[in-house]
Amino acid sequence: MAYTKTLTTERLILRKPQPSDEAALFAVHADPEVMRYFSEPPWTDASRAARQIAEDSAAFEKEEFFRFAVELKATGEYLGSCSLFSEHRQNRRAEIGYALGRPYWGKGYMHEALSALLEYAFIERDLNRLEADIDPLNAGSASALERQGFNREGFLPERWIVGGHVSDSALYGLLRRTWEARRKGAA
């Protein structure tokens, strides 16, 4: 049976990637501003998007990892993605990642998408801990994580070398009990 998990929020649909996302996915990952803090350089080969979608869809089906396409409910536009990956079932831990097209920055979309992803991770996947690894210079990403309750827990100097540029990693973590306490406080 195909795994068809879809998450919905007020303005967004988080769903399995599909071939119709190719052009928009490539546009997001070809943008040097979007990719500035990624662990890989901007994409230059448009066929990379088709390969990524095929890989992500296969992983989705096997429940190996979930890179949800983030779609605007009102228009069906592909905005970006948010991912739950490197899941360790025994330890009930996984990592999250995300990318948002530049035209959609500053509108609260990633906060909304991450809120749905965290609920999925903690409730439906029954995880106890989530982690994120970001470039410490990426203030937008740090803010997105901190707004969700993540705490900066570590720093790894010179962890990535992307296109000849050396960058550090800031490690963030969020415990299920912290997430639950924040949800109760907001209710």
Tens of pLDDT, residues 27-67: 999 999 999 888 889 999 999 999 999 999 999 999 999 99
Mark out the alpha helices in 42-135 (DSSP H runs).
47-62, 109-119
**pLDDT level of residue 165 (50, 70, 90 thresholds):** confident
In order of their start, the domains of the chain are 7-186 (3.40.630.30)
In angstroms, what CA-CA distances link 171 with 57, 90, 146, 185? 27, 21, 12, 25
The mean pLDDT value of the chain amounts to: 94
The pLDDT score that the predictor gives to residue 164 is: 84
The secondary structure of residue 43, as a DSSP letter, is: P
Burial of 112 from C-beta contacts in 10 A (0-12 / 13-18 / 19+): middle
Percent of the chain's residues with pLDDT above 70: 97
Tens of pLDDT, residues 66-102: 999 999 999 999 999 999 999 999 999 999 999 999 9
Closest residue by Cα to residue 98 from 119, 88, 118, 113: 113
The rounded distance, in Å, linking the Cα atoms of 168 and 155 is: 7
The pLDDT score that the predictor gives to residue 162 is: 80
For the segment 162-173, the average pLDDT, to the nearest whole number, is: 91
Give 47's contacts (C-beta < 8 A, 6+ positions apart): none
Give 39's contacts (C-beta < 8 A, 6+ positions apart): 160, 162
Percent of the chain's residues with pLDDT above 90: 88
**pLDDT level of residue 118 (50, 70, 90 thresholds):** very high
The pLDDT score that the predictor gives to residue 1 is: 43
The rounded distance, in Å, linking the Cα atoms of 135 and 155 is: 10
Count CB neighbours of 42 within 10 A: 16
Predicted structure pTM score: 0.93
The pLDDT score that the predictor gives to residue 185 is: 80
Is pLDDT of 4 > 80?
no
